[in-house]
Amino acid sequence: MLSSETPRAGLFSLDETLRQNWPEDVQALAQFVEPILAALVELHAEGRFHGAVHPGALWFFPNGTWHAEHFRDAALDGPNAPDFSAHEYRAPETFLGTRDAFSDCYSFGALLCKLMSGRAPAPAYRRLAQVDALEAKDAPKWPPALVALANRCLCLEKSARFASAQELRFALSGILWALVFPSPEAEIRLQPEEMSNALDIIVVPDWNQPELFDASIVEDSEAACMRLEAVEENQVTEAPEVSEPTTVPVKPRPTLPSSTIRERLPNASVGRLYRVELLHLFGVHAVQVNTASIQLPEGFGLNYDADTGMLQGNPVRAGEFELEITYALNEAPADAPLLRHLVKLTVNPDPASLWLNKPSDPDGLYAKPDSAVATLLTPDLSAFAASLRGRSHAHEGKYRDDDFALHADTASGWHVFMAADGAGSAKFSRCGSRLACSVAMENIRQRLTAGNELEEALEKLGTHAPEPEGVEKLRCVAANFFTRAAYEAFSAIHKEAAEQKASLRDFATTFIVVLARRCQEGWFFAAFSIGDGGAGVFLSPDHVEVLTQADSGEHAGTTLFLTRAELFQRPDKLLTRTRAVFCKDFRFLAVMTDGVTDPIFPSDAAFESAEAWSGLQDRLASVADLAHPAPGLEETLLDWLKFPSPGNHDDRTLLLVLPNGTPAHE
Amino acid sequence: MRRLPVYLLLDISGSMSGEPIEQVKNGVQTLVAGLRQDPYALETAYLGVITFSSTAQEVVPLTELTAFQAPSLQAGGGTSLGAGLSKLAECALRDVAKSTATQKGDWRPMVFLMTDGKPTDDWLAGLARFKHEKWGVVVGCAIDGGDTDVLRQIAGEGSVVQLNTSDSAAMGAFFKWVTASVSSSSKSIEQGGKEVSGLHELPTPPPEIKVVF
């Protein structure tokens, strides 16, 4: 956007060019503005607009010809472009953020005004409605028709202006035609009535009459008002009958063009603080408003403070409201009646008040309780699990789609933790997640007996802190273990889907499994996951070992499910999904579905950051003593899972595992 | 927060003037009022309005449902559907967040496209630009003589419905159905599942709406 910049050296500004060669007659003037008009005509024909017709966009070559390219580059032609135009050249609505072909016509009128009177009109916000921007006495040498044309461009009410540059060009060429080629036909074209029909150029009652309104004389407001109405009527219909000049010259009563006052206040929401400056409604005219007040229903929750001009408070009732604003203008005589304006206000309901909590049908197919908790206490650790139906399901009385499982093989010292999240749009996913957990757990349980392959691999590592190669070997064994369990779960779901004559997709579920075992030198963890959610071991405020990597697509909701048959056609790839970690000590292990990870970890990167995990610890520690977990912690967790988070209403499942005998906190 | 972007791509060409444009305006009001009663939509949905006539305009940039104010629409000009599609794609590219390591992406945008005519510009170029972005459900709505073949190529088989403006009940029903579709989409979205990606995954259209196959 070049509008605020000088295009390049060697060019002259509008003022400099005019100093050299000011157009002296209508023909010269028409010639001078024609290229600008032509550029606008082209834009408007395409349904576009320029948006910045002002001296900053107008540059000239030394020979007086016009730099069209710069003018084109300076176009704003979009609602969000910054406007550097001089205020005098801006249509009133541009201050309210709207801009179109009408606004271009306004700006063009301001340019005409400058060419005809030597200066641009007063900025729109300093002008009152219905008063001509360009007075004939300021442009004495120009034909009244041209003054009228400029004033029509400069009307504050958009609808009174020319709608496009094409219309404007017609009108201008009509005037030119009549002056340059005075002929009977041309004279006819100059007749107001003809013009109004053929060229639609009528602006003021009569171009050849002295001004009806003399702004310098104080008026009788009622009479003026009536007169004004009469004039307005004439403007929109026919060329007016010219009445005898009145003995009492009048000035119109000051009003604001209603189209420039906003029709709507910004929306409010129940329970959310609302704070809006009432004058904001008047946009550019705010400086003209002396006092304003707004009528509010009793117990509405909003108050208007006349001193600060603020409408504020906490709205109580949701709905669509129409409120009346009364205001007075600076220019108005003290006894003038107050002006009125109706504004609309939308108050949004508080979403919290709209959420329902309908119990699910306990006798339905694949029924599942709306929440579940479990505890696993072993000599090595304490595990607490809680799973809560999301608000979105509760609202509809639908089932919880999440599931979980935990198990310890006390003989071997291995612990297994699982969580699964059924896809919301899959109708039997609650069964998918349950089968994933139960079948995979049963498979692992059977193979976790003493002397299992994991145990053998662990023994080979020795008692000392293991070398990376050793951990990798153990990871491979674990990966094999997990992949087989996942395949068993997949097969069971496949079978169930076939029996139900449903598709595998109907049972879509994610799956996370974590193995944990205390060794002599510390702890061993291995994990496997398909889909989102995740698991991690929090060691200290600056160290977290993340055990899973979420499968997330470009957009939300695009994740991978255990029920994707293709996954099992590439077992080698599945094996890479396992991570393994050794650590001397840890504070907690958390296994979570995405109902928990989404609100707690704002991104995949945050899930890897110790700082975010520290935040999770702080939140958990605020409701429970993690160093000395008390019985019933699972219920506490279930309650904690109800934390509100806008836009996050998925089922939430958390498995929190705390080590025994080693201090969870230093 | 993962937002559900919902774009309305509206034809405001000259042929829409009068009754059709009024019905569309009322429809947008109905849509917004309906969504405001839905807690999912209230917390998740963002609305954007793009219009096309001789050119395309982003009339309302993607705006939180609670702050959304229905635009005033004026009909006139040609049917630059191609420009509308390009504009929509550009707006989505600019406004819809994609998942990266440091942010979670928005839901794929839903699009409801309404037109009553045949494109008067190079709409295939616009279509190519449109297909460059990823979309959730795209529903084409042919009003009166709207070109259903064109809409099918944009929205996909089975995602085009037909309405007659002479039938204001059908128009009302369409916008109610759009409301239900946005709600149901935000529901399944928030239930953590896969996104809706075709008309068959939306609520069944009411009998007043004729699905074009």
Q: Let me know if residue A388 belongs to a domain.
A: yes
Residue B196: predicted pLDDT: 47
Domains: count for chain A: 3
Q: What is the pLDDT of residues A85-108, one digit of tens each?
A: 788 898 888 877 778 889 999 999
Length of chain A: 666
* Chain-centroid distance, C-alpha A429: 33
Q: What is the CATH number of the domain that holds A280?
A: 2.60.40.10
Mean pLDDT of chain B: 85
CATH of residue A648's domain is: 3.60.40.10
Q: What is the pLDDT of residues A546-605, one digit of tens each?
A: 999 988 776 666 678 888 888 888 888 888 899 999 999 999 999 999 999 999 998 889
Angle of helix B81-95 relative to helix B123-131, nearest 10 degrees, comes to 20
Spatial separation of the C-alpha atoms in residues A282 and A267, rounded to whole Å: 17
Nearest-CA distance A289 → chain B (Å):
25
Q: Tell how far CA A437 is from the center of its chain.
A: 40
* Other Cβ atoms within 10 Å of A6 Cβ, number: 11
DSSP state of A331: T
Same domain, A434 and A573: yes
For residue A4, pLDDT beyond 90: no
A174-193: b (≥16 Cβ within 10 Å) or e: bbbebbeeeeeeeeebbebe
- In chain A, DSSP finds a helix count (H) and a strand count (E) of 19, 20
Report, as an integer, the average pLDDT of A346-360: 92
pLDDT of residue A242: 46
Tell me the H-state helices in A503-609.
Answer: 571-575, 594-600, 604-607
Token pair 């991690």 is at which residue? Answer: A536
- CA atoms of A449 and A451, how far apart (whole Å): 6
CB contact under 8 A, B68 and A421: no
Q: Which residues of A touch B58 (CB under 8 A)?
A: 78-79
A191, A196, A198, A201: CA torsion to nearest 10: 100
* Lowest pLDDT segment from A13-22, A239-248, A578-587: A239-248
A448-493 pLDDT, tens digit each: 876 788 888 888 776 566 677 888 888 999 999 999 999 999 999 9
Spell out which residues of chain B touch residue A267, defining contact as CB-CB under 8 Å: 66-69
Q: Angle, to 10 degrees, between the axis of helix A633-640 and the axis of helix A610-621?
A: 110
CB A471 within 8 A of CB A410: no
In the prediction, which pLDDT does A240 show? 43
Regarding whether A388 and A327 lie in a shared domain, the answer is no
356-415 in chain A: CB under 8 A from chain B: 390-393, 395-396, 398, 401
Residue A363 backbone class (left: φ over 0; alpha: ψ -120 to 50; beta: rest):
alpha
Would residue A515 count as lying in a domain?
A: yes
Residue A76 sits in the same domain as residue A134 = yes
- Residue that finishes a domain, picked among A204, A239, A274: A204
State how far the Cα of A238 lies from the Cα of A206, in Å rounded to an integer.
11
Residue B176 is predicted with a pLDDT of: 80
**Together in a domain, A380 and A343:** no
| Residue appearing with tokens 């069209």 | A68
Q: Please name the residues between 299 and 328 in chain A that touch chain B, using a CB distance below 8 Å.
A: 318, 320
Q: What is the rounded CA–CA span in Å between residue A642 and residue A598?
A: 14
Residue B188: its pLDDT value, please? 47
- Please report, rounded to a whole number, the percentage of residues in chain A having pLDDT higher than 70: 81
Task: For residue A79, name the pLDDT band (cuts at 50, 70, 90).
Answer: low
Alpha-helical runs (H) found in A46-100: 68-73
Q: Would you call A42 exposed, middle or buried from its count of C-beta atoms within 10 A (0-12, 13-18, 19+)?
A: middle
Complete domains list, chain B, with CATH? 4-212 (3.40.50.410)
Nearest residue in A to B14, CA atom? A47
Alpha-carbon gap, residue A84 to A60, rounded angstroms: 19
User: A118 to each of A24, A56, A107, A138, A370, how far by Cα in Å?
Assistant: 12, 17, 15, 9, 79
SS3 A341: strand
DSSP string computed for A216-260: TS---HHHHHHHHHHHHHHHHSSPPPPPPPPSS-B-PPP---GGG
In one-letter notation, the amino acid at residue A11 is L
Residue A170's H or E segment, with its range, is helix A165-180
The answer to whether residues A398 and A570 touch, using CB atoms and an 8 Å cutoff, is no
Tell me if A153 is assigned to some domain: yes
Q: Do B134 and A554 touch (CB under 8 A)?
A: yes
Contact B192 A266 (CB under 8 A): no
Tell me the C-alpha distance between A103 and A109, whole Å.
Answer: 10
C-alpha to C-alpha distance for B35 and A308, rounded to whole angstroms? 34
The DSSP call for residue A510 is -
Contact between A60 and A8 (Cβ < 8 Å): no
Q: Do A342 and A377 fall within a single domain?
A: no
Domain end (from A287, A315, A349): A349
pLDDT at A321: 92
- Number of helical H runs and strand E runs in chain B: 6, 7
Residues A297 and A417 in one domain: no
Q: Looking at residue A569, what is its pLDDT?
A: 83
- In sequence order, the 6+-apart residues with CB closer than 8 A to the CB of B149 are none
Q: Rounded CA gap, B181 and B110, in Å? A: 9
Q: Which residue has the tokens 């494109």?
A: B119
> Looking at residue B30, what DSSP letter applies?
H
Task: Measure the CA dihedral A95/A98/A101/A104, to 10°.
Answer: 20
B195 to A555: CB separation less than 8 angstroms, yes or no: yes
Query: Residue A261 phi/psi, 5° resolution?
Result: -95, 135
Residue A294 counted as domain residue:
yes
Is the per-residue pLDDT at A325 higher than 60?
A: yes
Q: Given phi > 0 = left and psi -120 to 50 = alpha, else beta, which region is B81?
A: alpha
Which of B39, B68, B99 comes nearest A395 by C-beta?
A: B39
Here the contacts of A88-91 (C-beta below 8 Å, separation 24 or greater) are A88/A54, A88/A120, A88/A121, A88/A122, A88/A123, A89/A53, A89/A54, A89/A55, A89/A120, A90/A54, A90/A123, A90/A124, A91/A124, A91/A158
Q: Tell me if residue A188 falls in helix, strand or coil.
A: helix
Beta bridge partners of A213: A250
Please indicate, yes or no, whether residues A341 and A399 belong to a single structural domain of this protein: no
Cβ-proximal residues to A243 (8 Å cutoff; 6+ apart), any chain? none
Whether A376 is in a domain gets the answer yes
Select the residue from B191, B194, B201 to test the A interface by mutation, using most A Cβ atoms within 10 A. Answer: B191
* Confidence (pLDDT) at B198: 56
Q: Say if residues A415 and A383 touch (Cβ distance below 8 Å).
A: yes
Q: Please check whether residue A354 lies inside any domain of the structure.
A: no
Given a cut of 60, whether residue A222 has pLDDT beyond it is: no
Residue A246: inside a domain: no
Q: Is A220 on the interface with B (CB under 8 A)?
A: no
pLDDT recorded at residue A158: 84
Cβ-Cβ contacts under 8 Å, B195 against chain A: 425, 555-558
* CATH classification at residue A35: 1.10.510.10
Q: Across-strand partners of A416?
A: A407, A515
Query: How large is the average pLDDT for residues A296-321?
Result: 90
Contact B78, B72 (CB under 8 A): no
CB A168 within 8 A of CB A162: yes
Residues A506 and A650 occupy one common structural domain: yes
Contacts of A100 in chain B (CB under 8 A): none
Residue A8 has pLDDT above 50, yes or no: yes
Return d(Cα A134, Cα A120) in angstroms, integer: 9
Of A349, A401, A508, the CB nearest to B194: A508
Tell me the one-letter amino acid at A400. Answer: R
Of B42, B80, B107, nearest to A351 by CB-CB distance is B42
Residue B122 has which token pair? 């190079």
Question: With contact defined as beta carbons under 8 Å apart, do B194 and A508 qualify?
Answer: yes
What tens digit of pLDDT does each residue of A39-71 get?
898 888 888 888 888 888 888 888 778 888 888
Is there a domain that residue A6 lies in? no
Question: What are the tokens at B209?
Answer: 């709406």
Please judge whether A647 and B55 are an interchain contact, meaning their C-beta atoms are less than 8 angstroms apart: no
Q: What span, in angstroms and rounded, lies between the C-alpha atoms of A597 and A591?
A: 9
Give the per-residue pLDDT at A180.
57
CB B195 within 8 A of CB A558: yes
How many CA within 13 A on the CB side of residue A509? 32
Q: Which residues of chain B have pLDDT under 50?
A: 187-196
Point out the domain boundary residue: A204, A220, A247: A204
pLDDT at A658: 96
Partner-chain residue, chosen from A48, A355, A604, that has the shortest CB–CB distance to B39: A355
Residues A587 and A507 in one domain: yes
Give me A187's structure tokens.
């004279």
Note down the domain range covering A324.
Answer: 261-349
- A307 and A446 together in one domain: no
Does the pLDDT value for residue A234 go beyond 80? no
Q: Spell out which residues of chain A touch residue B65, defining contact as CB-CB under 8 Å.
A: 348
Q: Which helix (H) or strand (E) holds A343?
A: strand A339-348
Same domain, A188 and A286: no
Q: DSSP label at A333?
A: -
Taking CA A414 as the corner, what is the angle to CA A413 and CA A420, rounded to the nearest 5 degrees?
Answer: 150
Q: Do strands A371-377 and A511-519 pair parallel, antiparallel, or not at all (unpaired)?
A: unpaired
Q: Quick check: ipTM above 0.90? A: no
What is chain A's mean pLDDT, rounded? Answer: 81
How does pLDDT run across A156-186, given as a tens digit for each residue?
A: 888 888 888 888 887 887 777 666 555 444 3
**Same-domain pairing of A458 and A327:** no
In the structure, what pLDDT confidence band is assigned to residue A657 with cuts at 50, 70 and 90? very high
Whole-number pLDDT of residue A505: 86
Cβ within 8 Å, pair B193-A647: no
Taking an 8 Å cut-off on Cβ atoms, the answer to whether B194 and A426 are in contact is yes
Instruction: Give the residue carrying structure tokens 């994740």.
Output: A559
Neighbours of A166 (CB within 10 A): 16
**pLDDT by residue (tens digit) across A253-306?**
566 666 667 888 999 999 899 998 888 787 767 777 778 889 888 889 999 988
8 Å CB contact between A555 and B106: yes
Whether A392 shows a pLDDT value over 90: the answer reads no
| A522 contact partners, CB below 8 Å, separation of at least 6 | A465, A582, A583, A584, A585
